Amino acid sequence: MLNNDGKPKKIIIVGGGTAGWMAANLLACKWKGTEICLVESKEIGIIGVGEGSTPHLKLFFDAIGVAESQWMPRCNATYKNGINFDKWSTIAGFESYFHPFPAQTDDIFTVPLFYKNIQARMQGYKVNAHPDNYFLESYLSRKNLGPLPDECFPFGISYGYHFDSALLGEFLAKNAQSQGVKRIYGTVSDVLVKNDGNLSAVKLKNGSQLEADFFIDSSGFNSLLMQKTLKVNYKSFKDNLVNNAAVVMPSELSQVLPVATKATALSNGWAWQIPLRNRFGNGYVYSSDYIDSNQAETELRQHLGLLESDIDARHLKMKVGRVEKHWHKNCLAVGLSQGFIEPLEATAITLSFNTIEQFIQYFEEGKGTNKFEDAFNKDINLRFDGIRDYIVCHYKANQRNDSDYWRDNAANKNISENLSQILYLWRHSQDFAGDMHKYKLVGSYQPKSWVCLLAGYGVFPKKEMDQTFDYSNHQQEIDGVNDFIRRCGLNFKNHSELLLL
Ligand SMILES: Cc1cc2nc3c(=O)[nH]c(=O)nc-3n(C[C@H](O)[C@H](O)[C@H](O)COP(=O)(O)OP(=O)(O)OC[C@H]3O[C@@H](n4cnc5c(N)ncnc54)[C@H](O)[C@@H]3O)c2cc1C
């Protein structure tokens, strides 16, 4: 049933992880007349990882009207300029590169020279084409400067965060409750379905029954409503992304608080290092087809210098893929219940936000009907697949040769048509960014992100020499860009100072 304003009268959200509470906050904020109840299971708990974000988390907090000063200190949160990819390539000079979040200065002042020098490099000129030289946020990261500029700085800059996921969940829970969301502890044991296929109620283990007009499935990898009850198909990504497990443990902070996530390639996967205010969060994401959990834990301890330490490690399984429909009947899946792509680019929370935000828009446009269900599902699937392709590209482009894991990933032929076309353009196009737009290949990632990745690993296919290329001002141009970035940097504060630590 709908209210007079075309919104559901009552919504039940199953699951109190980050996804469930994000949905509760956004819905409570946008649909004031709707009664919202969230049911979560203490005995099952939350996954309790997921501590890095993209700039979308800022958009989420802006949308629910919560300022950084309200949530960041309470979640031990820090700022994030981007991700440092370390040891994914063995090509001299390209052992590490930084993938920055976008800043307005990129496209106006620095990226054109980056593109030009990549073309020159591919034609055999010895020019500097490493991404770290061309982006403001790479510079900020090297200098440990946070991403908030002085007021007089005229260019926009986007950034993400690192945070304690359990504290973030609790913060969001309290905030949603203050907006009228009802929190219920209980384990759902059964889901009731009407004759027309819509859901009518969830039954809890204690015998109580909760009825609603619309349901949000945020039950994590359980996917209790969308996959288990409504039997929506699941599309696995395991042919393109082989990692299926992770081992996680904290470590002590370094003296200097980094302002970026670090993703270091190990023997059979990669390890993240996420700086919070009180600790580093670390994890090794790997494929159990290549290394077992004990070996992975030992390798992570070695990597962190914690071989002798008794800090507990936590082992997790990951299911990588997505549902075919994220909205079906009177149910929306949000979070791990709708799918998961391995955390290399920290995109899961972004996808949850996109899903809820877009659902609200499509549901309102359809005046409370399922008119736009197909369009919505197509849209969300494109987002998932676009992110998948970008992450697959990291593995395809890796330049390591020290284990079957890295060799098999580089040789993997199971890539999407879109990714195959992007890689073709990289090898053959004289205007990679322009052609990505021309052939409608720009999805979840902008051309400059693709260029960062491919140039960052030192992948420069040889092209025919263009005799008209003007190489004479090369050093002056690079010096000019470096000087511009350095002067921009004067407008930014040290990360710890910014956090008042
Ligand atoms: C190794 C790893 C690293 C990650 N890193 C990142 C990252 O850096 N950035 C990022 O954005 N994301 C990351 N993620 C993803 C991120 O953890 C999740 O997207 C996020 O935590 C949201 O999870 P969730 O709320 O969907 O599920 P969960 O946290 O698992 O919550 C599920 C909820 O459903 C409840 N529930 C389940 N079954 C029932 C039932 N029968 N009855 C009642 N309640 C039930 C549970 O109790 C819980 O409250 C990572 C994931 C993994 C596995």
CATH of 10-72+163-236+320-386, one of 3.40.50.300, 1.10.10.2840, 3.50.50.60, 3.40.50.720: 3.50.50.60
Task: Give me the residue spans of the domains in the chain.
Answer: 10-72+163-236+320-386, 101-157+416-493, 245-317
Q: Where are the beta strands (DSSP E) in 75-218?
A: 78-80, 82-86, 96-100, 145-149, 160-162, 182-185, 188-193, 199-204, 209-211, 214-217
Mean pLDDT of the chain: 96
Pairing outcome for strands 10-14 and 214-217:
parallel
pLDDT at 422: 98
Q: Which atom of ligand 1 is nearest to the CA of 337?
A: 26
Residue 131's pLDDT band (cuts 50, 70, 90): very high
User: Which atom of ligand 1 lies closest to the CA of 52?
Assistant: 8
pLDDT digits (tens, 9 = 90+) for 331-367: 999 999 999 999 999 999 999 999 999 999 999 999 9
Residue 172 Cβ contacting ligand 1 at under 6 Å: no
Cβ–ligand 1 distance for 224 under 6 Å, the answer yes
pLDDT per position as a tens digit, 51-101: 999 999 999 999 999 999 999 999 999 999 999 999 999 999 999 999 999
User: 376 C-alpha to center of ligand 1: Å?
Assistant: 22
Nearest atom in ligand 1 to the alpha carbon of residue 347 is: 11
Answer yes or no: is the C-beta of 236 below 6 A from any ligand 1 atom. Answer: no
Ligand 1 proximity of 335 Cβ (cutoff 6 Å):
yes
Q: Which residue has the tokens 């992948």?
A: 459
Q: What share of the chain is helix, strand, coil (3-state, %, to 5)?
A: 40, 20, 40
Give distance in angstroms: CA of 232 to centre of ligand 1. Answer: 19
CB-based contacts of 207, cutoff 8 Å, min separation 6: none
The label of the residue with tokens 């075919």 reads 324
